[in-house]
């Protein structure tokens, strides 16, 4: 998106507790105007709570929230605007389409409560229903619609009063895969056309990466990592993110490291005699002997029929495989370590040995997690 | 399950087909019989020896100004009670389900207590509390604060509406609290975020979504409160205010005019059935799916200090007026040898209780009769409801909705009208003036309550549970005994206790059917209320204790009251 620089939404030091349990534990983030931010994480990580705090549906214990240059919440200053004063749009996972109203009444609601003159209400509702492709459904009771159509009603309702910030709470996860794909594209087109800023909560990484300019990965109420989708995707910088994105995590110790043009590489000893090279991510250098994790995307584990003995090639045994369509997922036993690989079908049966190779550029080395409970 | 039978050996319809149908037929006959008798009687006119068909009874009635007065007053009571109970029931449910009012868990249960109490006893207690000049409240205010509350007169339509409201509020409360609690919070949150204030959201989203439940509750309250005999008998009759149930009662008293009573009954019945059908039509067009299962439960609203005080006051007033004050008044009167409108603790004695329990034949007989009726009636009613619930859930799929509508018909029929039907039916038979006819009338009027409770639980039982029992080799009887009955147990217990409570306090049907020796507690209360405040209060306390024990058992059984 063209407009750069100005933070439209600013969240600082947000804390929200439920009893003793902090659901959001000191989160700060910003969203630029016209951009989409995705809050990504497993359920219970606090992403929805942040969204609800932004909407004014929950009152945080600490922190500050600014939307479009207006402070809507500030604990210290005692500011806490009601939800209806924050001028937002929201789309819920359950759609929250009111069953006692028609499609037009649902969509026109934000205009009605703002006392927009009736003829103007009608025009604007028609226009937005055209945009979401529901013009023909205008007078139908909202409950007669399919899930995808209800989703569009919810979307039209969130956009009709032209809010500058629209919140999406797992908005597409109730739809089936095909419809989800289609809605994702439509949302992108719509946003380009209407130019609103969006915050998008999801547990689905494909959705987050596909929709957002900026992705925030959350875990246990904290920001785990954030950045552009490609950055987060290609360089997971914590074990949590790596695991959440579905990478293989192999535990070991640093043997040695060397510097190259594109960063530091380290050799990690995994099990007796098995080691591999990977690129060190993150600021800290890893001293020899330090515990470390080698993280490899399944698609980057290359398999070959056994025999070709080369440098950097390991030997593993196929335990199981499952058909994924164009590719096949293999579960490999690498001297006692489990490794998953996704490869085009190569005709190996469980029990057979294969050569496993991992390119150092495609293997990420992270310092081993501190006292963190296994997920 | 449709059993095709084994090839070469045709099996006749088994118990599994016959028994449920028998249960349904019994239910239909129990209601249709007395109503048909009433309809027939309303069309007959005796001139000399031979009766002849005539609309005379109806013409007579419709041209009688007393009829118009009674109908007008009953409509006023019904509408007043309905509006007041809806406002109160909805407010109480909202406060309990949606706010952080202190003690709301306790109030959640307390709000249901009036549901278990006897409206007739409630009316008597309110006479003690607010009879003109002599009422406890008036005396207390005069003595303590020098305030004159002369305008307070419980013997008025206002008094009837007040006491009816106290007893019918839990009906509305029960109807709306579940949808209030389970509504997807996003429905309201979406309204707030899109610009509606708290009050606007309440008006445009919350209340409209509750409308089907609220209207169902309102209709039940209107029909049942307007048809209730107990409260007008206690509060309207003494000052000569005519109402529909008391007029029917009067028509049956000497010199009796059964034709008039029957015509009255038929007219009331027609209105009741029409209203029930209207409600069914309305509800079938709008069944809101407000529970998505994927959304959040509504958040509790944090009350400000004034809000907290207002909510608590509402609860205190309701529980105070519906439970605490009436009970206190009853206890005080029952402990006084001679009630003068003021309680003197130094002179308190248990003499009234002693007399009522050990020395007075009427009350002893009444307590025994009530217990016999309640225990056998509840048992028969639950057995019947089990068979009917089986049919409603496993019977012929196309006939179920019709059977369901038919079986829920008695829900709206006033007890006094069904009692009248049974009276007309039994008057020339040996059943007349026996306990048995009272028992039959009880079961006929109230089995649908049990059927609804059991059927609602039945719905949650997957037929595959029984099918796997059958596939494992169990007979239908064994399947019932080993699978279905244990699963239905909570509902059966709840239904039994509910019927027990209803039968212990029933008055409308009994008042027309009792004879010397078959008085019940409620009938004895009516008889005693003219003779002795003290004995009546002592007997009322005993009835109250029975009802409270049932309430405690009900809570302990963890069963729930099922509505709609």
For residue range B498-518, list pLDDT tens digits in order. 999 999 999 999 999 998 999
Quote ipTM for the complex.
Answer: 0.81
Sign of CA dihedral A143, A145, A148, A153: negative
**φ/ψ of residue B435, rounded to 5:** -70, -30
Please judge whether B195 and A161 are an interchain contact, meaning their C-beta atoms are less than 8 angstroms apart: yes
**φ/ψ of residue A349, rounded to 5:** -105, 155
How does pLDDT run across B247-281, given as a tens digit for each residue?
Answer: 999 998 888 888 899 999 999 999 888 888 887 78
Q: What is the pLDDT of residue B150?
A: 76
* Residue B227 zone, left/alpha/beta (φ > 0; ψ -120 to 50; rest): alpha
Buried b (16+ CB within 10 A) or exposed e, A258-282: eeeeeebbbbbbbeeebbbbbbbbe
A164/chain B closest Cα distance in angstroms:
12
Inter-helix orientation angle B435-459/B361-394, to 10°: 40
Contact A339, A258 (CB under 8 A): no
Residues A73, A78, A79, A81: what is their CA dihedral angle, to the nearest 10 degrees? 90
Q: What is the pLDDT of residue A285?
A: 67
Contact A266, A353 (CB under 8 A): no
The share of chain A scoring above pLDDT 70, in percent, equals 94
Q: What is the pLDDT of residue B10?
A: 42
Query: CA separation (Å) from A242 to A29, A200, A235, B243?
Result: 21, 21, 8, 78
Mean pLDDT computed over A162-177: 87
Please judge whether B192 and A114 are an interchain contact, meaning their C-beta atoms are less than 8 angstroms apart: no
pLDDT, chain A, mean: 87
The single residue listed with the structure tokens 């910003």 is A30
Q: What is the pLDDT of residue A311?
A: 60
Q: What is the pLDDT of residue A52?
A: 92
Please judge whether A55 and B211 are an interchain contact, meaning their C-beta atoms are less than 8 angstroms apart: no
How does pLDDT run across A210-266, given as a tens digit for each residue?
Answer: 889 999 999 999 999 999 999 999 888 888 999 999 899 988 888 888 888 878 888
Q: What is the pLDDT of residue B557?
A: 73
Distance, CA of A250 to CA of A267 (rounded, Å)? 12
Option in A100, A110, A167 nearest B208 (CB): A100
B300: contact with A, CB 8 A cutoff:
no
The share of chain A scoring above pLDDT 90, in percent, equals 42
Angle at B398 between CA B395 and CA B404, to 5 degrees: 65
Q: What is the pLDDT of residue A289?
A: 82
Which of the 8 DSSP states describes residue B297? P
A133/chain B closest Cα distance in angstroms:
21
| Chain B residues close to A96, C-beta within 8 Å | 184, 186-187, 189-190, 295
Mean pLDDT computed over A163-178: 86
Preceding amide of B193 cis, omega within 30: no
Mean pLDDT computed over A195-220: 92
With a cut of 90, say whether residue B167 has pLDDT above it. Answer: yes
- Stronger pLDDT, B342 or B525, i.e. the higher one: B525
Q: What is the pLDDT of residue B6?
A: 42
Residues A356, A362, A363, A367: what is their CA dihedral angle, to the nearest 10 degrees? -170
Q: Which residues pair with A168 in a beta bridge?
A: A91, A200
Query: CA separation (Å) from B61 to B42, B247, B359, B533?
Result: 11, 11, 45, 36
Written as six digits, the tokens of B430 are: 């040996």
B295: contact with A, CB 8 A cutoff:
yes
Written as six digits, the tokens of B233 are: 């008998």
Query: CA separation (Å) from A203 to A171, A245, A292?
Result: 11, 11, 27
Please judge whether B209 and A98 are an interchain contact, meaning their C-beta atoms are less than 8 angstroms apart: yes
**φ/ψ of residue A365, rounded to 5:** -105, 125
| Chain A residues close to B298, C-beta within 8 Å | none
Q: Nearest-CA neighbor of B418 among B288, B228, B549, B188?
A: B228
The enclosing H or E element of A333 equals strand A327-334
Please judge whether A113 and B208 are an interchain contact, meaning their C-beta atoms are less than 8 angstroms apart: no
With a cut of 70, say whether residue A370 has pLDDT above it. Answer: no
With a cut of 50, say whether residue B472 has pLDDT above it. Answer: yes
With a cut of 80, say whether residue A316 has pLDDT above it. Answer: yes
pLDDT, chain B, mean: 88
Q: What is the pLDDT of residue A284?
A: 66
- In this structure, of A123-137, B77-91, B130-144, B547-561, the range with the lowest mean pLDDT score is B547-561
Distance, CA of A265 to CA of A312 (rounded, Å)? 14
CA gyration radius, chain B? 25
| Chain A residues close to B184, C-beta within 8 Å | 94, 96
Mean pLDDT computed over B132-143: 85
With a cut of 70, say whether residue B11 has pLDDT above it. Answer: no
Query: CA separation (Å) from A268 to A33, A287, B103?
Result: 43, 11, 61
- In this structure, of A225-234, A246-255, A285-294, B545-554, the range with the lowest mean pLDDT score is A285-294
Option in A57, A113, A174 nearest B189 (CB): A57
Query: CA separation (Å) from A342 to A243, A308, B53, B165, B507?
Result: 16, 20, 90, 70, 78
Buried b (16+ CB within 10 A) or exposed e, B247-264: bbbbbbeeeebbbbbbbb
Q: In the structure, what pLDDT confidence band is assigned to residue B295 with cuts at 50, 70 and 90?
A: low
Distance, CA of B111 to CA of B113 (rounded, Å)? 6
Please give the distance of CA B306 from its chain centroid, rounded to a whole number: 35
Q: Which residues pair with A357 in a beta bridge?
A: A302, A313
| Strands A214-219, A302-305: pairing kind | unpaired
B208: contact with A, CB 8 A cutoff:
yes
With a cut of 80, say whether residue B323 has pLDDT above it. Answer: yes
Q: What is the pLDDT of residue A360?
A: 87
**φ/ψ of residue A63, rounded to 5:** 115, -175
Q: Nearest-CA neighbor of A253 among A161, A365, A147, A359?
A: A365
Contact B275, B219 (CB under 8 A): yes
Option in B192, B194, B294 nearest A94 (CB): B294
Mean pLDDT computed over B61-68: 90
Q: What is the pLDDT of residue A13?
A: 93
How does pLDDT run across B384-440, given as a tens digit for each residue?
Answer: 999 999 999 988 888 888 888 888 888 888 999 999 999 999 888 898 889 999 999
- Determine the residue among A23, A89, A92, A203 to mutate to test chain B binding: the one whose Cβ has the most chain B Cβ atoms within 10 Å: A92
B36: contact with A, CB 8 A cutoff:
no
Q: Which residues pair with A215 in a beta bridge?
A: A38, A227
With a cut of 80, say whether residue A4 has pLDDT above it. Answer: no
Residues in chain B: 564
- Stronger pLDDT, B289 or B26, i.e. the higher one: B26
| Chain B residues close to A99, C-beta within 8 Å | 209, 288-290
Q: Nearest-CA neighbor of A342 among A356, A361, A363, A360?
A: A356
- Determine the residue among B194, B197, B200, B202 to mutate to test chain A binding: the one whose Cβ has the most chain A Cβ atoms within 10 Å: B194
Distance, CA of A314 to CA of B49 (rounded, Å)? 114
Written as six digits, the tokens of A132 are: 């979401």
Query: What are the CB-based long-range contacts (under 8 Å, 24+) for B517-521?
Result: B517/B365, B517/B433, B518/B369, B518/B433, B518/B434, B518/B435, B518/B438, B519/B362, B519/B365, B519/B366, B519/B369, B520/B366, B520/B369, B520/B370, B520/B373, B520/B438, B521/B366, B521/B367, B521/B369, B521/B370
Q: What is the pLDDT of residue B525?
A: 93
Written as six digits, the tokens of B168 are: 């019918």
Q: Which domains does chain A have, with CATH numbers?
A: 7-239 (3.40.50.300), 247-296+359-375 (2.40.50), 302-357 (2.40.50.100)
Residues 6+ apart with CB under 8 A from B77: B157, B160, B161, B164, B225, B226, B232, B243
| Chain B residues close to A57, C-beta within 8 Å | 189, 192-193, 299
Please judge whether B194 and A82 are an interchain contact, meaning their C-beta atoms are less than 8 angstroms apart: no
How does pLDDT run across B170-222, given as a tens digit for each residue?
Answer: 999 998 998 888 888 889 999 999 999 999 999 999 999 998 889 888 988 99
User: pTM for the full model?
Assistant: 0.82
Please tell me which of A128-137, B49-58, B73-82, B129-138 the model is most confident about, judged by mean pLDDT.
B73-82
Contact A10, A30 (CB under 8 A): yes
B288: contact with A, CB 8 A cutoff:
yes
Q: What is the pLDDT of residue B236?
A: 93
Inter-helix orientation angle B244-252/B207-227, to 10°: 20
Contact A45, A220 (CB under 8 A): yes
- In this structure, of B107-116, B161-170, B231-240, B291-300, the range with the lowest mean pLDDT score is B291-300
Residue A157 CB burial class (10 angstroms; 0-12, 13-18, ≥19): buried
**Which residues in A have their CB inside 8 Å of a CB on B?**
52, 55-58, 82-84, 86-90, 92-96, 98-100, 109-110, 113-114, 143, 154, 157-158, 161, 167, 174
Please judge whether B286 and A161 are an interchain contact, meaning their C-beta atoms are less than 8 angstroms apart: no
Inter-helix orientation angle B207-227/B415-426, to 10°: 40
Alpha helices by DSSP H, B286-414: 305-319, 325-334, 351-354, 361-394, 400-407
Query: CA separation (Å) from A171 to A48, A107, A221, B10, B123?
Result: 11, 17, 21, 58, 55
Please give the distance of CA A305 from its chain centroid, rounded to a whole number: 36
| Strands B44-46, A302-305: pairing kind | unpaired
Contact A73, A53 (CB under 8 A): yes
B471: contact with A, CB 8 A cutoff:
no
Q: What is the pLDDT of residue A308?
A: 55
Q: What is the pLDDT of residue A147?
A: 84
């Amino acid at each position: 998106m063209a407009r750069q620089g100005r933070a439209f939404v600013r969240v600082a030091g947000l804390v929200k507790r439920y009893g003793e349990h902090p659901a959001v534990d000191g989160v700060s983030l910003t969203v630029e105007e016209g951009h989409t931010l995705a809050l990504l994480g497993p359920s219970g990580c606090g992403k929805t709570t942040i969204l609800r705090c932004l909407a004014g549906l929950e009152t945080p214990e600490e922190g500050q929230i600014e939307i479009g240059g207006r402070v809507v919440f500030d604990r210290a200053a005692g500011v806490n605007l009601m939800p209806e004063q924050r001028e937002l749009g929201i789309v819920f996972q359950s759609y929250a389409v009111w069953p006692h109203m028609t499609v037009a009444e649902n969509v026109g609601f934000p205009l009605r409560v703002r006392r927009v003159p009736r003829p103007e209400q009608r025009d604007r509702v028609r226009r937005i229903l055209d945009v979401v492709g529901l013009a023909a459904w205008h007078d139908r009771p909202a409950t007669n619609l399919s899930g995808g159509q209800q989703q569009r009603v919810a979307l039209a309702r969130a956009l009709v009063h032209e809010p500058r910030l629209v919140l999406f709470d797992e908005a597409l996860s109730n739809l089936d895969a095909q419809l989800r794909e289609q809605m994702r594209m439509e949302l992108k087109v719509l946003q380009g056309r209407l130019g609103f800023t969006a915050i998008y909560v999801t547990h689905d990484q494909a959705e987050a990466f596909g929709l957002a300019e900026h992705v925030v990965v959350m875990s246990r109420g904290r920001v785990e990592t954030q950045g552009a989708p490609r950055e987060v995707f290609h360089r997971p910088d914590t074990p949590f993110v790596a695991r959440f994105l579905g990478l293989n995590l192999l535990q070991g110790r640093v043997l040695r490291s060397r510097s190259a043009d594109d960063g530091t590489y380290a050799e990690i000893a995994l099990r007796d005699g098995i080691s591999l090279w990977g690129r060190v991510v993150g600021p800290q250098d890893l001293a020899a002997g330090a515990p470390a994790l080698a993280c490899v995307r399944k698609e980057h584990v290359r398999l070959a029929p056994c025999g070709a003995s080369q440098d950097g090639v390991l030997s593993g045994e196929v335990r199981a495989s499952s058909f994924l369509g164009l590719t096949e997922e293999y579960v490999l036993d690498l001297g006692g370590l489990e490794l998953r690989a996704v490869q085009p079908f190569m005709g190996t049966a469980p029990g057979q040995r294969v050569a496993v190779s991992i390119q150092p550029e495609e293997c990420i080395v992270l310092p081993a997690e501190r006292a963190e409970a296994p997920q | 399950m449709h059993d095709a039978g084994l090839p070469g050996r045709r099996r006749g319809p088994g118990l599994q087909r016959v028994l449920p149908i028998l249960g349904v037929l019994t239910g239909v006959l129990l209601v249709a019989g007395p109503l048909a008798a009433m309809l027939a009687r309303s069309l007959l006119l005796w001139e000399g020896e031979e009766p002849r068909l005539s609309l005379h009874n109806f013409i007579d009635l419709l041209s009688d100004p007393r009829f118009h007065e009674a109908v007008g007053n009953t409509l006023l009571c019904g509408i007043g009670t309905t509006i007041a109970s809806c406002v109160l029931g909805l407010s109480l449910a909202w406060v309990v389900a949606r706010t952080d009012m202190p003690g709301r868990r306790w109030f959640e249960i307390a709000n249901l207590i009036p549901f278990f109490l006897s409206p007739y006893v409630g009316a008597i207690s309110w006479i003690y509390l607010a009879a003109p000049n002599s009422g406890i409240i008036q005396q207390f205010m005069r003595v303590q604060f020098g305030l004159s509350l002369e305008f307070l007169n419980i013997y008025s339509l206002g008094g009837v509406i007040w006491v009816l409201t106290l007893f019918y509020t839990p009906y509305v409360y029960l109807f709306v609290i579940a949808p209030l609690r389970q509504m997807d919070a996003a429905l309201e949150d979406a309204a707030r975020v899109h610009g509606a204030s708290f009050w606007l959201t309440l008006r445009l989203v919350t209340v409209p979504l509750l409308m089907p439940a609220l209207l169902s509750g309102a209709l039940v309250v209107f029909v049942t409160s307007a048809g209730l005999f107990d409260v007008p008998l206690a509060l309207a009759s003494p000052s000569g205010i005519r109402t529909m149930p008391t007029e029917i009662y009067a028509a049956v008293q000497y010199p009796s005019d059964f034709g008039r009573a029957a015509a009255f009954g038929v007219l009331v019945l027609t209105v009741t059935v029409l209203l029930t059908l209207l409600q069914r039509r309305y509800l079938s067009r709008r069944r809101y799916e407000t529970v998505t299962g994927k959304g959040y439960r509504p958040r509790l609203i944090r009350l400000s200090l004034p809000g907290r005080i207002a909510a608590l006051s509402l609860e205190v007033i309701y529980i105070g007026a519906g439970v605490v004050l009436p009970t206190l008044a009853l206890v005080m009167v029952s402990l006084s040898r001679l009630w003068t409108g003021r309680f003197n603790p130094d002179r308190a004695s248990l003499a009234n209780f002693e007399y009522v329990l050990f020395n007075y034949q009427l009350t002893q007989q009444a307590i025994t009769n009530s217990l016999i009726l309640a225990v056998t009636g509840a048992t028969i009613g639950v057995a019947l409801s089990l068979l009917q619930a089986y049919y409603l859930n496993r019977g012929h799929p196309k006939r179920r909705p019709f059977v369901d509508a038919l079986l829920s018909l008695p829900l709206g029929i006033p007890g006094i009208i069904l009692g009248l039907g049974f009276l007309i039916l039994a008057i020339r038979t040996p059943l007349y003036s026996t306990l048995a006819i009272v028992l039959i009338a009880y079961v006929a009027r109230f089995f649908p309550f049990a059927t609804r409770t059991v059927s609602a639980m039945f719905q949650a039982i997957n037929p595959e549970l029984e099918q796997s029992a059958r596939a494992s080799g169990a007979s239908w009887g064994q399947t019932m005994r080993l699978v279905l009955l244990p699963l239905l147990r909570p509902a059966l217990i709840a239904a039994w206790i509910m019927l027990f409570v209803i039968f212990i306090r029933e008055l409308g049907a009994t008042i027309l059917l009792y004879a010397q020796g078959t008085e019940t507690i409620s009938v004895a209360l009516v008889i005693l209320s003219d003779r002795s405040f003290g004995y009546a209060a002592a007997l009322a306390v005993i009835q109250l204790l029975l009802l409270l024990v049932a309430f405690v058992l009900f809570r302990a059984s963890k069963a729930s009251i099922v509505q709609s």
